[in-house]
Structure formats: structure tokens, C-alpha cells
Structure 1
Amino acid sequence: MWALGDKHVQDSSDSDNFTFLGKGVDFKGVLNFDGTIRIDGHVEGEVHTTGTLIIGEQAVIKGILSVGTLMTSGKVNGTVTATAKIQILKPGILIGDIRTPGISIEDGAHFHGMCDMGANKWVDENPSSHKNVHDLAAHRGKARTADL
């Protein structure tokens, strides 16, 4: 019987932390969280979590977001860095620069800004020799003069 009680305490400590900022909340400053956070109010400043940030339809966020995953159907104006992915859901609006390995934008959602998905990692820094590349402009000029 005591073992069941101990197991229940252990299971609740392993569960994901969940934080909720409701519709009437107006916050200015820096928010640091572990786990998942849902915001339905207004936040101006910074939000940091390694977990998931869920932004509700009524929410307005202005500032810097540093998250694991961002799921937004509200309004975001700022810089977003997500280590996993960003999902902009209808009727969400995200204005600002984002950095993420993956993004999805639902039909009816809006994004305006620059997106960095780490493509510079895929570019070969030491390009191979271009011995077999021909100058098309020079070649076209020769072909045109031959036709005259």
C-alpha cells in the first residue's frame, strides 16, 4: 500500500510543467519557464523556455521569444528562436525574424519577416573545382556571330 503512494508521487514529479497566463494578464519583463507555457494575455519583453510555448488567439506578444517549439494562433511581433519548430496557426500573425529548423504556416495564418532555417550548414564551404564549367555568355556570343 505504501509503495503505491510513493509511485504516485514519483509519477507527478516526472510530468511536464505547465504554466498558463490567462486572457486578462498584461506582463512586461522577462519570463523564464521549464516545460510548456500557454499565453492568452499580453506580454511585452522576453519569454524563454526549452519546452513548448502556445500562444492563444487573443494573445499579443511583443519582444524576444526563445523556445523549443512555438505554436501560435495569436499576434507576435519580435524575434523568435525555436530549437525544434514553429507552427503558425490560423488566424495567427507573426511579424519579425525567426530562426528554426522547421516551420509550418497554416492556410489563413500570416508571416512577415526573415526566416533562417540553418541552410548555411548545407552549403559546401570548399566548393569543388569548376574545370568543366563553361562561360555561357562567351559561348552565346560566338554562336551568334557564326550565324551572321
Structure 2
Amino acid sequence: MKKTGYMDDGNITLLAKGVELKGEIKVEGTVRIDGRLEGDVQTKGQVIVGEDGLVKGTISAGTLISSGRIKATVTATERIELLKTAVLIGEMHCPVISMEAGAKFQGVSDMGVTAWPDEAPRLPGNVRDMAQHRGKAVALIGKEPDL
């Protein structure tokens, strides 16, 4: 069996190439968009936008995988993957973002970081800081350098 780029949970909603929809899609599983959607998509599963797919509106999902065109506010609880032919204009809100070379993004991204600690994080006890173990410079007095 060929492995596809997404998990098949048995519940797939398909908006096929050539189909145009204005409205809202709310499902539990995977949504694949190869047509045009002007509206909102809501799922706890995956939203897959194919190369011919176009979405204008909002997307709320567990994961977004896109190789198509999106002009939307996207919120993903797990990750957003933009494949090499993807174009996303808008906002991305998610903990993990990956973009292949060639993917294009214009807008705002938010990965949930609000601040960084004042001090660098401490290394676990079994990992040593190499700076502490560097050799010290030693000067030899009274010996001619070897040339």
C-alpha cells in the first residue's frame, strides 16, 4: 500500500477539482480540498489542500497540509505543512510550521511564544558544558620555541 502524506482515518470529506463552494464545512475527520472554497473549515482532523485547491476564509484544524493556494486565517493545534507549490497569504497560528523550498508565505505567524527566559536553559546533569573543560593557556618560561 502506497503511503500518502496524510493519515486516513476513514472519514474523508472531498471538495473535488472543479467544484466551487461558498459556506462552512464542519466535520470530525479529514477534509481534502481540490476545488474552491470561500468560507470556513472546522475539523479536529486534517485539512489537505491539493495543488488545484483554493481556500478563502478561515481554517481551524489539527493539521493543515497544503500544496495549493490559501488566503485565510489558519489555526492548527498540531502543525502546518506548506509543500513546495503552496502559497499562503494571511495568518498562521500553530506550534509547528514546516515549509518546503518553493513554498510561499506572506502574513503573520504565531507559534505561541510569549517570552524567553532571562537565563539560558541549564543542561541536564548527564550533558557537560564543553566550555568548562577547555584547556587553559600555559606560558613556558625559559624555554626557546621549537622552529
Q: Same fold, TM exceeding 0.5?
A: yes
The aligned residue for residue 81 of structure 2 is 87
Partner SS state of residue 77, structure 1: strand
The aligned residue for residue 57 of structure 1 is 51
Structure-to-structure mapping, 1:126-141, within 5 angstroms:
none
TM-score normalised per structure 2: 0.72
The aligned residue for residue 12 of structure 2 is 18
Distance of 2:32 and 2:25 partners within structure 1:
12
Distance of 2:10 and 2:113 partners within structure 1:
32
Paired letter, 2:88? L
The aligned residue for residue 101 of structure 2 is 107
> Given the superposition, is the C-alpha separation of residues 16 and 123 from structure 1 closer, same or farther in structure 2, using an over 3 Å criterion?
farther
Partner SS state of residue 69, structure 1: strand
Q: Structure 1: 5+ residue runs without aligned partners? A: 1-14, 129-148
Report the RMSD for the aligned CA atoms in angstroms. Answer: 1.4
Given candidates 8, 27, 32, the residue that maps to 2:21 is 27
The aligned residue for residue 70 of structure 1 is 64
Given candidates 103, 110, 114, the residue that maps to 1:116 is 110
Distance of 2:17 and 2:62 partners within structure 1:
23
Distance of 2:83 and 2:43 partners within structure 1:
20
Paired letter, 1:58? D
Paired letter, 1:32? K
TM-score normalised per structure 1: 0.71
The aligned residue for residue 5 of structure 1 is none
Q: Structure 2: 5+ residue runs without aligned partners? A: 1-8, 120-147
Q: List structure 1 segments (4+ residues) > 2 angstroms apart after TM superposition.
A: none
Paired letter, 1:80? V
The aligned residue for residue 132 of structure 1 is none
Deviations 1:13-40, CA, capped at 9 Å, x for gaps: xx53111110011000111011111110
Distance of 1:37 and 1:92 partners within structure 2:
17
Distance of 1:16 and 1:123 partners within structure 2:
41
Partner SS state of residue 118, structure 1: coil
Distance of 2:39 and 2:13 partners within structure 1:
17
Distance of 2:31 and 2:66 partners within structure 1:
12
